[in-house]
Every structure is written in C-alpha cells, then in structure tokens.
Amino acid sequence: MRAVVQRVTRASVTVDGTITGEIGPGLLILICAMAGDTPAHADAMATRIAKLRIFKDDQGKMNRSILDIAGSALIVSQFTLAADLRGNRPGFSTAAAPEDGKRLYEHFTAQLKDLGIPTATGIFGADMAVDLTNDGPVTIWLDL
C-alpha cells in the first residue's frame, strides 16, 4: 500500500456538492492499494500511521501520534499514487484492480477505527474535491 499522510487542523471531502467526510485536527490520508496488496498490508499501514509521531509535544517536537492527541482521520482513496511516470502520461497498471482496491480501502478504514481513531471518508472511485489546512506543513509519503 502507498499513502500520503498530511497533518491537518481541518479537512473535508466533497462529492457532487455534498460533504461526505470532514474532520478537525488529525490526519488527511490519501491511500492507494497496489497490485498484490493483501489485508495484511492494509493492517500494517493502519498500524504504522496510527503510531506515526508527527504531532507536537509540549516542547514543540514531533513526538505524539494521532492516538496521543485523540485526533481524527479523513481517508480518501487515491489511485493516482500508483502513477508510473516513465513518460509524460501517467500509467496506473501498478494500482490494485478497482474491486480489490475498494476492499482494501474499506479494510484499512476499519483497521484505523479498530485502533481507536475516529474516521471520515470520501467515496471510493468518485470524483472528489478535498479541502484542507495542512498543519506545519507536514506531509509524509509511506510505502509498505
């Protein structure tokens, strides 16, 4: 799995003019299931993100996780993270097939919930508008 994680003060996703998910302080997670990924990959990614210490402690150092700050996660499916850029037009053959991608996206979301993180989501496969205030800015790329 591949993810881009952004520390945010707020974030929302809108589909067809309707907000489908929004959060306050926490993480905006753009997530992509790659070909060959399994539920174990989704579990590992969820655990890694839940423990990622990118929130400030009392001394201003990045020492706290989303669990430590009782933050929320907005999870948005993002197959374009699988882009192959050998040429000028990206290819996406390394992304999981849509049905596998949706299953793993839902599994990943359920895992974060099971870890105690309140979640909100976009709609898998939809044309979404994402609005956020990046805090820091802090943006982390993860590949598992």
User: 105, 118 in Cβ contact below 8 A?
Assistant: no
CA dihedral of residues 109, 115, 118, 122 (deg, nearest 10) = -10
Q: What is the DSSP letter of 45?
A: H
Of residues 79, 108, 109, 119, which has the active-site annotation? 79
Of residues 6, 78, 111, 121, which has the active-site annotation? 78
Residues 128, 108: Cα–Cα separation, whole Å: 19
Q: Is 108 a catalytic residue?
A: no
Q: Is 111 a catalytic residue?
A: no
Q: Taking Cα atoms as reference points, which of 65, 52, 47 lies closest to residue 114?
A: 47
Residues 87, 65: Cα–Cα separation, whole Å: 38
Of residues 6, 9, 20, 80, which has the active-site annotation? 80
Structural element, H or E, at residue 31 = strand 26-32
Residues serving a catalytic function are 78-80
